[in-house]
Structure 1
């Protein structure tokens, strides 16, 4: 055990800790913050507000599900472990993925036992529900907190279970999401939808037809997902109660801290949103967005354009 602990320390020391480049920021009144503690407090204030739960929407937990999905095998754990990218930063439990690759089959057996226990009782270790947020600047004024993505660093051991869960959810992604959804889909992307829009415009010009586009950009899309609405949507889509319960309990009691250039903030509760940096988040957000589009009333208004006998009234993509 002592040798293993020394090995973990050596690997961690070699890898170091990931820090995103970050300049000075302003407070909510637009004043420049110069002191380290003021900067940390501003980040905590901003993220707590961003992820604060809507008090008007109570929890709807249903307890433990007894009708379970089929158990997963050790080979699935091995596949999940091998598929984790070594170049990505980790946090949470502080155990680097290189350790598991050194321990090989022994690590697979231990992780299989842990993940099977979670699978059966649908409760997650608190370390796996903790995230370290790294603010990554996007477009706009880098002095405003709202112009940053908050990417979540999560534990590698937790990612193994998440990878297995993602694989179980994939059948629902393939079945429920339409071809017009190119965001976070394998083999599809923004360029496909740009090409489709260009083709539609060319055909409209060729046949002298009027065509109108409405571009909708979800602001802070991942951050605004309401958890209880998400669980209801998953139920309507037909995702099993067992998988939904696992997801719901993963999100219940989540905590996060923000790593700034001046250290980390205090831990705070996460009441809404899906984690940027978690492999489950793109699929969960797509289910959420799919529900919105199904209830947008596009079919009733007969909006869209006929292509090969099929009506196309929306094209979706992700630009993050």
Structure 2
């Protein structure tokens, strides 16, 4: 696998083990955050009540209308979605994602890339999520747990945009009747990761 160095150039990093990555893509992630579930998640994560109250007021009585070729629809209330472009939206989604990972048991999972003091099995930034494991079976298990917990809070994985990258042998993956694409490189948070098969 190739990783960027701090200077921005590429350096070959050799691992003595196989590493498997799943780059998860949620379908309309920010648009499907359920407000009522979000407030419960914030309470469960011990976010101070006064901050949750401020956020609830920001999202209270939200209404939308749709402009069509025949005019504008009546206004209707919405109870899902975080505001596009709002600086709080990535943070709110991160709480949602943290809740998913905790309920999927990823904090306690033995699966992941072993490091000196434990293991790492996921890296997240807002709605960008990468799962990591040292075996294909571990990665499949992590993905299924995350998929199940995501669906419980109303998020669906977009299998067409979800990618697998393997630094080791791998078989074809099927999820929901679709093949998960196997890639040799992937841009994650602006940096290119490559499988580096030499």
Q: TM-score, normalised by structure 1?
A: 0.33
Q: Where does residue 277 of structure 1 map in the other structure? A: 85
Distance 2:96 2:107 in 1: 19
Q: Within 5 Å, which residues of 2 pair with 1:41-190?
A: none
Q: Does 1:304 align with 2:112?
A: yes
Q: CA deviation at 1:303?
A: 0.9
Q: Where does residue 103 of structure 2 map in the other structure? A: 295
Q: From 71, 75, 84, give the equivalent of 1:267.
A: 75
Q: 1:286 to 1:299 in 2, by over 3 A?
A: closer
Aligned residues: 121
- Note if contact 2:42-2:95 (Cα within 8 Å) is conserved in structure 1: yes
- Note if contact 2:101-2:107 (Cα within 8 Å) is conserved in structure 1: no
The list of structure 1 runs, each at least 4 consecutive aligned residues, that deviate by more than 6 angstroms after superposition, is 260-263
Greater Rg over alpha carbons, structure: 1
Q: Relative to total residues, which structure has the larger helix share, 1 or 2?
A: 1
Query: SS at 1:213's partner residue?
Result: strand
Indicate the structure whose relative CO is greater, using CA pairs within 8 Å and at least 6 residues apart. Answer: 2
Q: Where does residue 122 of structure 2 map in the other structure? A: 314
Q: Where does residue 230 of structure 1 map in the other structure? A: 38
Q: Where does residue 58 of structure 2 map in the other structure? A: 250
Distance 1:260 1:307 in 2: 54
Distance 1:289 1:240 in 2: 19
Q: Which consecutive unaligned segments of at least 5 residues does structure 1 have? A: 1-193
Query: Deviations along 1:149-207, whole A, 9 cap, x unmatched?
Result: xxxxxxxxxxxxxxxxxxxxxxxxxxxxxxxxxxxxxxxxxxxxx749xx9x9433xx1
Q: TM-score, normalised by structure 2?
A: 0.51
Q: Where does residue 14 of structure 2 map in the other structure? A: 203
Distance 1:258 1:223 in 2: 15
Q: CA deviation at 1:258?
A: 4.2
Q: Where does residue 216 of structure 1 map in the other structure? A: 24
Q: Relative to total residues, which structure has the larger strand share, 1 or 2?
A: 2
Q: 1:286 to 1:301 in 2, by over 3 A?
A: closer
Distance 1:259 1:223 in 2: 18
Q: CA deviation at 1:259?
A: 5.6
Query: SS at 2:24's partner residue?
Result: coil
Q: 1:277 to 1:256 in 2, by over 3 A?
A: farther
Query: Deviations along 1:122-169, whole A, 9 cap, x unmatched?
Result: xxxxxxxxxxxxxxxxxxxxxxxxxxxxxxxxxxxxxxxxxxxxxxxx
